[in-house]
Structures are given as structure tokens and as C-alpha cells.
Amino acid sequence: MSHPSHQPHSGDHPKAASAFIADQERAQWHDKALWFIREKRDRAAASLPEWETLREHAAAIKAHTIANLPQYLEQFEANAQRMGVKVHWASNAVEHNKIVLGILQQHNVKKVVKSKSMLTEECHLNPYLEQNGIEVIDTDLGERIVQMREEPPSHIVLPAIHLKKQDVGDTFHKHLGTNAGADDPQYLTEAARGHLREKFMAGHAGITGVNFAVAESGGIVVCTNEGNADLGVALPPVHIACMGIEKLIPRAADLGVFVRLLARSATGQPITTYTSHFHGPRPGCELHIVLVDNGRSEVRESDDFRLSLNCIRCGACMNTCPVYRRSGGHSYGSTVPGPIGSILAPALDPEKHKSLPFACSLCGSCTDVCPVKIDLHHQLLTFRRELALKNLIPLTKRISMKLLSFVLMRPWMFSLGGKLMRMIVPKLPRMFIYNGMNAWGKQRELPPMPPQSFRELYSIRKHVAAHNRPNTLKGNTQ
């Protein structure tokens, strides 16, 4: 099964967003579904009096780890190897995919079960393995649904959040033979369970992501709600865990900070249903860990964007983002959508994802929900500068901003321009103002055009005051 949409459409967020919004009812529903999760997150966070302290701690641990990443990576590798883990290093996505394929071919694996891993999405592992004759089954329910539909996930925690139960019913009817029109969630989930059980039994190897890797122990932690990672690696003899190098934390004691933040931020749960710790392979089996850079070292060098490496992929920034909620994950055309995706994607390919840093009203809500204190909206703003420096913002915008700056540096020109606008606009026929050229006026009226500007009124007021001053002074002396 191939994923044509794993090669996302060229990034034009406004266009894709406006197509999503054209279905008003669905857009409203999508917004409300995610806002519900944001509110759940608020209640879960409020249940911990130490919430803000936890965020501070998490950010400090991440800052320390990223600063000392090379030594922690080496420590992790040594400790993992001591437990019998085979550790692999990949500098980019291509290397990562080759390593995984190599391990699978070595064991003559034809069928793989995979639990959720944003890293393998980032590397586009599935299509690569499929091209090489290996069947990959995503075992997370949401991921399996979008996989059947040959769509990429639209959210990193809730991959099928863009789909209604009726959509899932239709998909399952087509692929699993469930009754036509059936959309009862329990019925559908049971059908998926039966289907996935067969796949689990048939899998020759299991691939998982990694939520946290502990340097001092060499252990890895995988968090799921469905237990699919556990089943997927408990049955077959080979477990391949793929992780970005930023997933490291120094000590097992630090896990408490992150585990408490992760599920609360992601879904408003106190903890994920399964928080599984892997310390070396099971007897007679193999555990491979693939450590992937894929641009992270470069981000680590950047003072402006280093904090983005703090990300624990909780998705809270998506749930709170007013733009994401109303445009859907697919409108971003990137592996990770939403605020954090709008930083990660253009960092890898600025040309392709140049519209993403502008898909943001700079409201700052993402920055305040982020459990690891990434200054998301500031980074999005900074990224706009990077794009401008690379000549990747539209020429019309570049020219109009230059012109605007020129006018604003000349107060007389600014005042004259304002005066002309206020004089002319009210006299123009409506069709001259409200037409296809005026994006503001498509759904909104222009502001009213007052006869005088403040600076004009202010100067009149000052004159009047100066004129009245002798009287005022007399009044004061009495």
C-alpha cells in the first residue's frame, strides 16, 4: 500500500485552509473537538498546584540535556549496548530508512507492525519499506484508519481527528467489510481490534517510536494509550525503536517530570494508559535503537530555534492553536502540523514550507500551553525574518513593506496619504472598494473613514487651549 499523500502537497496554507473552511459545518466540528481537548488539558493542568514549576523544571532539564547532548548520547549508547541493545546512528532520513530496511532484510522480515512514531513519519519510512517489498501495518487505531485511507496523520497525537465516525464507518466498510452505514464506535473499534490482532500475530518485527531515552540507564520509554506498542514488540523477535537524538533525558528521576506533563498536555489524562520501559532485548530476541539527527544538530547550533528541540510531541500547541483548529492538520502539508510543525518543517525545507510561519496570528497561546516552554510564537515570528532574508516571501509583500516603511519614515507623507484615503474611500462606489482585489472586504467592512485624523484634532485642541490659556491662568490664581 503506498501513501501518495506522504509526499504532502506544496505548502500553500491559506489556500488549503480556505478549502477546509468551505465546509463550515465540518470546520466548526473540528474546532470544537480540539477545543474540548484543550479544556480537558486545562482541567488536568489545574489539578496540579505545581504545574508551572513542572514546566520550568522540564524546560531546564531539556536545556541542560541539549547543551550536553554529545556526552549524554555517548553515555546512552554505552549503557544500552551493555544491556545488549544494537545502537545505530543515522545522520538523515535516508540513512535511517536504509538502516531499518537492512535490519529487516537481515531477518528476512516481510511483515512489520509499527506503533506511532512521528520520527518515522518525518523520514517517510512506510513508503520506503513498501517499495522494498515489506508490508507495514500501523497499529495505533487512528494511524491505521488514515493508513487505510492513504492519508497522512492530521495530528501527532490524534492522527484521525479530522475524521468523523461516519467517515471511519465508510473506511472500515471498504477495507474491513463492516456493515455499510454502521458508525457505532464500539462496533467499529471491535472490527479494528479483530483486524489488528491478525496483523499482530503475523508480524515478524515490531517498530516503535521513543518518547524518552534515559542516558544513565540506556533504557527507553514508550507511551501509548492502546498498548499497541507493547503487543507489537512482545510477539516478534525483533524490536526496532526509532528516535530523534533530542529525545534524551539524563536520569530516570527526570522521567517523573515529563511523564506528568506529557499526557496532561496531550489529552488531559493524568498519565498514558501504557508507559512501557524497555531495558535491553528479551532473551533470544533483538532490540535495535536508531538514533537520528536529520537536521537536529543544525537546530541545536541556532540561538533562535534551539528551544524547539525541547518538544516532547504532546500536540498541546495544535489543540490550542485557533488556526490549526480551523484549518485542519492536512492544510499544513507537513509531517508535524500546527505551531511546532510550522517551525520544524520550514527548518528542513524553507522553500516548500514558506507559508507556514505566516499561518499564525501570533496570539501566543501555544507558547503558554507548551509543557516544555518553547517560545513557539516568537520562533514563528523569527522564522518570518529568516524567510525574508532568503527571499522566500512574496515580491508583492516585500515591495509593499518597503513602500510602507518609506512613507512611515516621512510623517507629512503619512498624514497626506491618510487624509487622501479618508477623503476618497467614502466617495468611491462600493464595487471599487469591495472586489476580488480586497481580501479584507470579502467578509468585512472597512473601518469608517473619519473626516479628521487624531493629529489634526490634537493640533486644533492645542490651539484652542493656547488661546484660552490667559483665562485659565486667571482662573487658577483666584
Partner 1 sequence: MKVGLFIPCYVDQLYPDVAMATVEVLERFGIEVEFPTAQTCCGQPMANSGCTGDTRPLAEAFLRIFGAYDYVVCPSGSCVSMVRNHYEEYFHENPAFETLKKRTFELCEFLVDVLQVKNIAGSFPHNVGLHQSCHGLRELHLGPPTELMNRGTPNKVKQLLEGLDGIKFMPLTRPDECCGFGGTFAVAEEAVSCMMGQDRLDDHEKAGTQVLTAADMSCLMHLEGLLRRRGKKVAVMHVAQILAGRAPDFGVPATGGAR
| Site size for partner 1 (CB under 8 A) | 74
Name the 3-class secondary structure at 135: strand
- Find the binder of partner 1 among 92, 105, 273, 452 (CB under 8 A): 452
Q: Is 63 exposed, middle or buried (0-12, 13-18, 19+ CB in 10 A)?
A: middle
What part of residues 323-362 is at the interface with partner 1 (CB under 8 A)? Answer: 323, 326-327, 357-362
Please report which residue ranges of 132-164 form alpha helices under DSSP H.
141-148
- How many Å apart are CA 428 and CA 453, to the nearest integer? 20
- How many Å apart are CA 374 and CA 56, to the nearest integer? 11
Least Å distance, CB 79 to partner 1, is 35
Residue with cell 496523520: 153
- How many Å apart are CA 161 and CA 142, to the nearest integer? 8
Comparing CB distances to partner 1, the nearer of 107 and 410 is 410
Least Å distance, CB 301 to partner 1, is 19
Comparing CB distances to partner 1, the nearer of 194 and 450 is 450
Pairing state between β 111-114 and 219-224: unpaired
Does 457 bind partner 1 (CB under 8 A)? Our answer is: yes
Comparing CB distances to partner 1, the nearer of 169 and 371 is 371
CB 96 within 8 A of CB 209: no
- Find the binder of partner 1 among 67, 388, 416, 464 (CB under 8 A): 388
Spatial CA neighbour of 142 closest among 152, 134, 132: 152
Please, what's the largest Cα pairwise distance for the chain?
Answer: 104
Least Å distance, CB 365 to partner 1, is 6
Residues 6+ away with beta carbon under 8 Å from 49: none
What mask, x for binding partner 1 by CB under 8 A, covers residues 391 to 430? Answer: --x---xx--xx-xx--xx-x--x---x--xx--------
- How many Å apart are CA 90 and CA 73, to the nearest integer? 13
- Find the binder of partner 1 among 5, 6, 26, 31 (CB under 8 A): 31
- How many Å apart are CA 310 and CA 71, to the nearest integer? 17
Of the candidate spans 11-19, 58-66, 245-253, 283-291, the one that interacts with partner 1 by CB under 8 A turns out to be 11-19
Least Å distance, CB 429 to partner 1, is 17
Pairing state between β 238-244 and 286-292: parallel
- How many Å apart are CA 236 and CA 60, to the nearest integer? 38
Spatial CA neighbour of 294 closest among 121, 144, 165, 45: 121
What part of residues 429-448 is at the interface with partner 1 (CB under 8 A)? Answer: 439-440, 442-448
Comparing CB distances to partner 1, the nearer of 35 and 89 is 35
Comparing CB distances to partner 1, the nearer of 17 and 90 is 17
Comparing CB distances to partner 1, the nearer of 187 and 414 is 414
- Find the binder of partner 1 among 6, 26, 42, 84 (CB under 8 A): 42
Element (H, E) at 462: helix 454-477
- Find the binder of partner 1 among 435, 454, 463, 464 (CB under 8 A): 454
Does 91 bind partner 1 (CB under 8 A)? Our answer is: no
CB atoms under 10 Å from CB of 363, counted, come to 13
- Find the binder of partner 1 among 3, 8, 11, 13 (CB under 8 A): 13
Least Å distance, CB 323 to partner 1, is 5
What mask, x for binding partner 1 by CB under 8 A, covers residues 359 to 378? Answer: xxxxxxx-xxx---------
CB 355 within 8 A of CB 11: yes
- Find the binder of partner 1 among 455, 463, 464, 469 (CB under 8 A): 455
What part of residues 45-74 is at the interface with partner 1 (CB under 8 A)? Answer: 45-46, 48, 51-52
Task: Calculate ∠ Cα 58-60-66, nearest 5°.
Answer: 100
The secondary structure of residue 5, as a DSSP letter, is G
Least Å distance, CB 384 to partner 1, is 3
Inter-axis angle of helices 51-67 and 252-266, to 10 degrees? 120
Least Å distance, CB 382 to partner 1, is 9
Comparing CB distances to partner 1, the nearer of 59 and 291 is 59
Length of the chain: 478
* Cell matching residue 342: 510550522
Does 322 bind partner 1 (CB under 8 A)? Our answer is: yes
Least Å distance, CB 38 to partner 1, is 9
Sign of CA dihedral 292, 299, 326, 333: negative
- Find the binder of partner 1 among 17, 129, 242, 314 (CB under 8 A): 17
Least Å distance, CB 306 to partner 1, is 17
- Find the binder of partner 1 among 7, 10, 18, 105 (CB under 8 A): 18
Least Å distance, CB 358 to partner 1, is 6
